[in-house]
Amino acid sequence: MVKPAKRGPIRRRVVTTSIYGLSWLLLTLLSPLWLVAALLIGVARGRSLIILRLFFFAWFYLGFELIALVLVAWTVATRAVGEPQLRSLYRLQGWWANLTWSVAARALELRIVVEGADCAMPGPTILLIRHASILDTLLPSVYVQRPHGYRVRYILKQELLFDPCIDIVGNALPNYFVDRTGKVERELVGIRALVEHLGPDGVLIFPEGTRFSPKKRENALRKLEAEASPQLAAARRLSHVLPPKSAGVLTLFAELPAVDCVFLSHTGLEAFAKIKDLLSGDVVGSTVHVKLWRVSANDIPKEPDEQLSWLYAQWEKVNAFVRNPTDTS
């Protein structure tokens, strides 16, 4: 994914919104062609009409994005700056995420099984979520934030600024977009600023820092081995997730020593990480399992080395759930 610069937001948004608008217009004008082509290819390939389903979702997503941008502009123009505007933008964010997720689930006939969503309340909490696809960024908003009116501050990768809605609303609300190629200390300063005066809100981070793949796992293990990391043995036991990166998470622990942690593990969205896996059609009719559990701040060690070992132990639970989500032992 292209990484847009943090600077020059007006120019960036003009470019990305134009790309989304033109893409939707082309899909709409060419719909007689791609509908017939996708249907014929689906019948010939016999793979659950996956191309037709993806075309439909892409058409909906791009069009819905444009509608949402109009609603964002209306909200900014008609709501007073401060709490009234924030309240409306949070509601709009939850509605956008929920509808996007619902259409994706229906288009692909996904079955969703969620366990423990209520444990994220009350706030404040530090939410740590597994990262496997572009869709898992919607899960906290759909199952935690929107149902409870719970405000969550996101720590997200800068590449997501390519999405106009995420860019505009994400920067209007208290979130932080990390430059993964920038100086670590500068990014940690941004994270510290994000959680100042957290109040009853939650703060969310993806400890892995990127989507899982076997190749990325091997690269992470080689790096830990080269560093002679004391967590290498624990990292090798993580077969289905990446070893968690310590800087961002330990910064949150240091800034929020009295705040509980909520872990969000999920499986079933892995096919969305790569186009070739998605085009196989295996995702159609599959089950997405989501599980949350909460750990009291009193049970989190206070020393950074012990906190990192504790984090790896929790991440082994994430790994176990991904490996076998129906295991209740």
In a domain, 3, yes or no: no
User: DSSP letters of 52-77?
Assistant: HHHHHHHHHHHHHHHHHHHHHHHHHH
In a domain, 314, yes or no: yes
pLDDT digits (tens, 9 = 90+) for 278-306: 777 788 888 999 999 999 999 999 999 99
| 50-78 and 164-172 helices, crossing angle to 10° | 30
Q: How confident is the model at residue 26 (pLDDT cuts 50, 70, 90)?
A: very high
Sheet of strand 152-157: strand arrangement: 111-115, 287-295, 260-267, 125-129, 202-205, 152-157, 176-178
- Amino acid identity of residue 142, one-letter, is V
In a domain, 136, yes or no: yes
Q: Range with the lowest mean pLDDT among 40-44, 80-84, 104-108, 134-138?
A: 40-44
CB atoms near residue 115 (< 10 Å): 15
Q: How confident is the model at residue 24 (pLDDT cuts 50, 70, 90)?
A: very high
Q: How confident is the model at residue 75 (pLDDT cuts 50, 70, 90)?
A: very high
Surface-to-core class of residue 327, CB atoms within 10 Å of its CB (0-12 exposed, 13-18 middle, 19+ buried):
exposed
Report pLDDT for 3: 43
Strand partners, 125: 202, 260
Q: How confident is the model at residue 329 (pLDDT cuts 50, 70, 90)?
A: low
Q: How confident is the model at residue 46 (pLDDT cuts 50, 70, 90)?
A: low
pLDDT digits (tens, 9 = 90+) for 238-280: 999 999 998 999 999 999 999 999 999 999 888 777 777 777 7
Report pLDDT for 285: 87
Its domain, for residue 189, covers 9-323
Mean pLDDT for 3-26 is 83
Q: How confident is the model at residue 223 (pLDDT cuts 50, 70, 90)?
A: very high
- Amino acid identity of residue 253, one-letter, is F
In a domain, 177, yes or no: yes
In a domain, 185, yes or no: yes
Report pLDDT for 52: 87
Report pLDDT for 2: 40
Report pLDDT for 38: 82
pLDDT above 80 for 229: yes
Q: In this prediction, what percent of the chain has a pLDDT beyond 90?
A: 66
- Average pLDDT of the residues of the chain: 90
Q: What is the CATH number of the domain that holds 313?
A: 3.40.1130
Q: How many domains does the chain have?
A: 1
In a domain, 176, yes or no: yes
Q: How confident is the model at residue 6 (pLDDT cuts 50, 70, 90)?
A: low
In a domain, 283, yes or no: yes
Q: How confident is the model at residue 171 (pLDDT cuts 50, 70, 90)?
A: very high
Mean pLDDT for 56-78 is 94
Residue 149 corresponds to which tokens in the numbers above?
A: 């009116």
The CA distances from residue 35 to 40, 41, 128, 148, in Å, are 9, 10, 40, 39
pLDDT above 80 for 149: yes
- Amino acid identity of residue 304, one-letter, is P
Q: Among candidates 304, 184, 308, which has minimal Cα distance to 235? A: 308
In a domain, 298, yes or no: yes
Q: In this prediction, what percent of the chain has a pLDDT beyond 70?
A: 96
Report pLDDT for 274: 72
pLDDT above 60 for 4: no
Find out whether 190 and 181 touch, Cβ atoms under 8 Å.
no
Give the DSSP H/E element, type plus range, for residue 202: strand 202-205
Q: Among candidates 289, 268, 282, 266, which has minimal Cα distance to 53? A: 282
